[in-house]
């Protein structure tokens, strides 16, 4: 009987213990979920706009950058948590709340077409137009007995006498010519056709030598009439221009064909511009150019490039291009320095502000607004730069909305969410590598940006 009562008491005690445990468990359960409901009801989570990994349930300051923590909803936090489970493409997207956009000073603009016309200025100098270069030389060996042009820089016209020369050969040829002339006249009277033909041939030979030695037909005619031998012959200029070089003075014995003057026609001159190696790609024959001279600061001379030297100068590391310029009133002097402004290109293409392009050294990235508050990076190819804009050759289309201000902060946010630093190449990541997805709580994006700017 006692055993039966003892067993009943044990059962009662076990039931009472089970009841107490159930009551306590139910109370803990109710208390826990009520507390969770209160937290959810409050719906207040504070985070740093620059360091979203900093999460707090009360206001304060960011321990990394010192910025005041801002309020964000648990819904936004769930978006960030959800994003961590998405694909690589989604991980590249950055979502910012309105308050974060304001703090990051995010501004956008629509991509459109813009005309790019490039101008580059180069150093240049004036050079004699080699097409207009000529020389006055002695037609026959002899002694210079007189100069009509005595200094460099003197202007000479075509047909003007420049010097007189005594030549024994010329004197002898004049005598031979007079003898051949007398012989021809005598033979012609005889009526012998063969003898007349031979005499005419000798006379013509002597005449041709006088002509080769640049005696004019008038001088030869005077010799025939007066029969006076000239012991000096006048040298006439065949060209017009400016004497740029005088080689000899009176008394010099010159060889046949030896130059005594250099003559340049300066009505047109060459402008030689030195193009730097990095700018060769922009220069082509036919491009228009403006020439400026410090001697005439208010005047601009317009011309076109008509020759690009195919040989690069290894000493100056420049390439010479040639421009023909009309020299009005001979204002441009050889070896004068000038400035040459060349219109290198005129294109109509897509354009983005310089601030919109993040240049890493290996690639160029812009952030495109996918929807309100959502931004995706896109790699672009750029070429020209003008008035604070880049010409875009690929990567964007007309009408795209790009971030024109705050792109660096968005890029930093993207890299934080991807578990990268801005020094890593590109915007790709391996989602299977958990270590790469971890956030470094000691990372200071503002300091990273300062170091990047100092470099």
For 4, how many CA atoms within 13 A lie in the half-sphere containing its CB? Answer: 1
Q: Residues of the chain with pLDDT > 70: what percent?
A: 75
184 lies in the same domain as 106: no
Tokens of 43: 């719906």
pLDDT tens digit string along 168-210? Answer: 998 999 999 899 888 888 888 777 788 888 888 888 888 898 8
Which of 136, 142, 65 minimizes the C-alpha distance to 103? 65
Per the DSSP assignment, residues forming a β-bridge with 318 are 276, 313
- Asked if 325 and 270 count as a contact pair (C-beta separation under 8 A), the reply is yes
Domain boundaries, position 19? 1-38
> Looking at the predicted structure, is the pLDDT value of residue 85 above 50?
no
Buried b (16+ CB within 10 A) or exposed e, 193-227: eeebeebeebbeebbebbeebbbeeebbeebeeee
Residue 444 pLDDT class (50, 70, 90 cuts): very low
Which of 264, 331, 299, 334 minimizes the C-alpha distance to 124? 334
Q: Calculate the CA 58 to chain-centre distance.
A: 55
Distance CA 42, CA 188 (A): 138
97 lies in the same domain as 6: no
Distance CA 312, CA 320 (A): 8
Q: Which of 76-90, 108-122, 231-245, 378-392 has the highest mean pLDDT?
A: 231-245
> Looking at the predicted structure, is the pLDDT value of residue 2 above 70?
no
Distance CA 377, CA 365 (A): 6
205 lies in the same domain as 310: no
Distance CA 104, CA 416 (A): 15
For residue 365, give Cα distances in angstroms to 90, 110, 338, 408: 17, 16, 40, 10
Query: Sign of the C-alpha dihedral, residues 85, 90, 91, 94?
Result: negative
Which of 435, 325, 439, 374 minimizes the C-alpha distance to 90? 374
Residue 377, in any domain of the structure: yes
Mean pLDDT rounded to a whole number for the chain: 77
310 lies in the same domain as 355: no
Residue 80 pLDDT class (50, 70, 90 cuts): very low
Higher pLDDT, 11 or 114: 114
222 lies in the same domain as 138: yes
Structure confidence at residue 13 (pLDDT): 67
95 lies in the same domain as 183: no
Structure confidence at residue 161 (pLDDT): 92
Residue 287, in any domain of the structure: yes
Domain count within the chain: 4
Q: Which of 11-15, 24-28, 258-262 has the highest mean pLDDT?
A: 258-262
Residue 330 pLDDT class (50, 70, 90 cuts): confident
Residue 71, in any domain of the structure: no
190 lies in the same domain as 279: no
Structure confidence at residue 30 (pLDDT): 45
Distance CA 95, CA 351 (A): 25
Residue 342, in any domain of the structure: yes
Residue 177, in any domain of the structure: yes
Residue ending a domain, among 324, 346, 368, is 346
pLDDT tens digit string along 284-293? Answer: 888 889 999 9
């Amino acid at each position: 009987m006692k055993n039966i009562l003892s067993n009943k008491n044990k059962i009662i005690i076990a039931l009472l213990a089970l009841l107490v445990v159930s009551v306590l468990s139910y109370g803990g359960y109710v208390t826990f979920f009520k507390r969770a409901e209160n937290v959810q009801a409050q719906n207040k989570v504070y985070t740093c706009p620059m360091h979203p990994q900093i999460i707090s349930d009360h206001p304060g300051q960011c321990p990394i950058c010192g910025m005041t923590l801002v309020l964000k909803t648990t819904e936004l936090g769930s978006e960030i948590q959800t994003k961590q489970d998405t694909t690589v493409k989604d991980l590249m997207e950055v979502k910012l709340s309105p308050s974060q956009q304001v703090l990051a000073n995010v501004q956008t603009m629509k991509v459109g077409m813009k005309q790019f016309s490039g101008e580059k200025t180069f150093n240049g100098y004036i050079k004699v137009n080699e097409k207009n270069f000529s020389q006055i030389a002695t037609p026959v060996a002899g002694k210079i007995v007189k100069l009509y042009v005595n200094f460099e820089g003197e202007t000479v016209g075509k047909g003007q006498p420049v010097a007189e020369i005594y030549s024994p050969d010329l004197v002898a040829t004049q005598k031979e010519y007079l003898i051949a002339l007398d012989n021809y006249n005598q033979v012609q009277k005889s009526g012998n056709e063969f003898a007349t033909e031979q005499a005419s041939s000798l006379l013509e030979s002597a005449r041709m030598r006088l002509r080769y030695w640049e005696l004019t037909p008038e001088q030869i005619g005077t010799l025939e009439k007066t029969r006076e031998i000239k012991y000096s012959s006048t040298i006439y200029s065949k060209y017009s221009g400016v004497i740029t070089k005088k080689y000899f003075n009176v008394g010099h014995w010159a060889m046949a064909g030896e130059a005594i003057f250099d003559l340049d026609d300066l009505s047109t001159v060459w402008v030689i511009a030195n193009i730097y190696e990095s700018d060769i790609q922009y220069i082509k024959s036919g491009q228009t150019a403006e020439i400026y001279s410090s001697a005439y600061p208010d005047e601009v001379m317009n011309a076109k490039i008509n020759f690009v030297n195919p040989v690069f100068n290894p000493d100056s590391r420049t390439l010479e291009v040639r421009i023909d310029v009309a020299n009005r009133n001979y204002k441009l002097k050889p070896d004068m320095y000038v400035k040459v402004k060349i219109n290198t290109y005129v294109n109509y293409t897509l354009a983005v502000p310089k601030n919109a392009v993040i240049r890493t050294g290996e690639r160029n990235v812009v952030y495109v607004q996918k929807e309100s508050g959502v931004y995706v990076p896109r790699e672009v190819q750029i070429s020209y730069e003008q008035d604070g804009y880049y010409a875009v050759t690929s990567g964007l289309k007309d009408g795209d909305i790009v971030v024109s201000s705050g792109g660096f902060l968005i890029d930093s946010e993207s890299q934080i969410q991807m578990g990268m630093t801005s020094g890593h190449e590109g915007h790709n990541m391996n989602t299977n590598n958990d270590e790469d997805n971890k956030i470094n709580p000691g990372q200071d994006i503002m300091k990273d940006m300062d170091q990047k700017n100092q470099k």
